[in-house]
Amino acid sequence: MRKWTRNCCVCLTLIVISFFNPIVLADNTESKLQWFRDDKFGLFIHWGPSSIMGVEISWARQDHPYDHPGNGPFVPNEMYDLLYRSFNPVKFDADQWMKLAKEAGFRYVVFTSKHHDGFSMWHTKLRDYNIANTPFERDICRELADAAHKYGLKLGWYYSTRDWSHPDYLVGDNKKYNDFYEGQIRELLTNYGKVDIMWFDHAAGKWRDYTFERLFDMMYSLQGENLLVNNRAARFVKGAKDSPPSQAIQDLVRGDYDTPEQKIGKFQTDRAWESCMTMTKVDGGGWSYRPDGTTISYKETLQTLVHTVTGDGNLLLNVGPLPTGEFPADQVDILKKVGQWLKKHGESIYGTRGGPLPNGKWGGMTQKGNRIYVHILEWPQDGSPLLLGALDKEIISSKGLNVTGPDVKQTSEGIEIKLSAENRAEVDSIIVLNTK
Ligand code: GLC
């Protein structure tokens, strides 16, 4: 057979085969999530001109077009939208932030490039309402991205699609706004080196108002298919009845992981998740600097991390910097303590998966290879041993990771753990089970 005829035959055969067996692209979700599942702990930073007044970022602005009205107290738009003119965080030092993040045991950082108020923390060419036009002038996103890269932290951009001050937002067919916000994302994914996460935060309007396929194509073409995207690119978009999104679009915007907010997610091992939670507790937020809020304790911070990780999730823990550019001092102290703990006991957190038994109020388990780490946060009040469910693996040996003298018994009904009260750890007693 002449070469071209043979080639034609091969082509035809391939066409016929693929017609009957449509090529299914390999789902790379799990492999691209590997670092995320291993790294567990991210630093969330909410920051912007609202910190000057110590009010909640965006939500303190009087008007929230197309959105929940919020609960106030409010700042009139005219005043809120001019705060940037006096934003001058002279003590901002991205290097110091990222150094602290590293010391605290964070492995990635997600920063509010633009919140719902529409202010951009980088030198965007697409809108004047940005950091270049403040007395500070410097490109905060650039400095942060560089410092994160320097310290080996993965980088994520928080980007709010909802934009309460943009004149084109949801006007007409929304084309102008789509071009604008997709253009902004193009800048963020082009000019700041490697970006690992796009962290969206809600939108309003209807499905027909958006061009999500174009957006995702662009993001993957700029940063590669391994870019992780959370599940909020189209969260709260409505109108599925008159303009239903295709299955492909629904799959895209579902993103790579779930994002329970201000609560610890439920035990879930078949889809990745990340709880985002604030260190500042105050009514109506606490994401940005709120001097009227209270800070969670070291114990609560660590317990939150352990409850999350034993549930097979990640924790994105939020700090709201001061208008000076500094982190709240009490939060820095707590984060450093968490870092010290992780330095000693990080093997029971990083690179593990939650389970095998589901977690509960008492604590939970993490696992790595043949090892199970039992994290005990609460012992039975009456002094009786802790009883856990049955494992389908045989325990060969056990020992305390940060405690001495635990007594572990495995029966067909379950596991029984005893540890005298004086030998228990301050927050989390970790017991290692080596299994067959
Ligand atoms: C909610 C809040 C927003 C915050 C976000 C973080 O969407 O509206 O202010 O940035 O949660 O998850």
167-187 pLDDT, tens per residue? 999 999 999 999 999 999 999
Adjacency order of strands within the sheet including 228-229: 228-229, 197-200, 154-159, 108-114, 41-45, 314-319, 274-278
The residue whose CA has the least distance to atom 5 of ligand 1 is: 201
For the domain made up of 355-435, the CATH class stated in words is mainly beta
144: buried, middle or exposed (CB in 10 Å: 19+, 13-18, 0-12)? Answer: buried
Cα–Cα distances (Å) from 197 to 107, 111, 117, 200, in that order, read 13, 10, 21, 9
Strand-pair partners of 233: none
Ligand 1 pocket (Cβ < 6 Å) reads: 46, 58, 201-202, 261, 276, 287
- Report residue 77 CA to chain centroid gap: 30
7 alpha carbon to ligand 1 midpoint, in Å? 57
Share of the chain above pLDDT 90, in %: 91
43-62 per-position pLDDT tens digit: 999 999 999 999 999 999 99
Q: Determine the pLDDT at residue 284.
A: 81
Instruction: Please determine, for residue 11, whether its predicted confidence score (pLDDT) is greater than 80.
Output: no
How would residue 27 be classed by pLDDT, with cut points 50, 70 and 90? confident
DSSP 18: H
Answer whether 0.85 is exceeded by the pTM: yes
In the chain, where the domains are located: 2-348, 355-435
Whether 355-435 and 2-348 are alike in CATH topology: the answer is no
Q: What is the average pLDDT across 352-360?
A: 98
Q: CA neighbours within 13 Å on the CB side: how many for 75?
A: 20
Q: CA neighbours within 13 Å on the CB side: how many for 127?
A: 24
Best probe residue, ligand 1, of 47, 67, 201 (max atoms within 8 Å of C-beta): 201
Measure the N-to-C terminal CA separation of the chain; round to a whole number of Å.
Answer: 59
For the domain made up of 2-348, the CATH class stated in words is alpha beta
Residue 247: both structure tokens together: 């299955």
Instruction: Please determine, for residue 229, whether its predicted confidence score (pLDDT) is greater than 70.
Output: yes
Instruction: Please determine, for residue 2, whether its predicted confidence score (pLDDT) is greater than 60.
Output: no
Q: Which residue in this structure is represented by tokens 């990080």?
A: 346
Q: What is the average pLDDT across 98-124?
A: 99
Instruction: Please determine, for residue 425, whether its predicted confidence score (pLDDT) is greater than 50.
Output: yes
Share of the chain above pLDDT 70, in %: 94
254-273 per-position pLDDT tens digit: 999 999 999 999 999 999 99
CA proximity to 84, closest of 55, 50, 111, 54 = 50
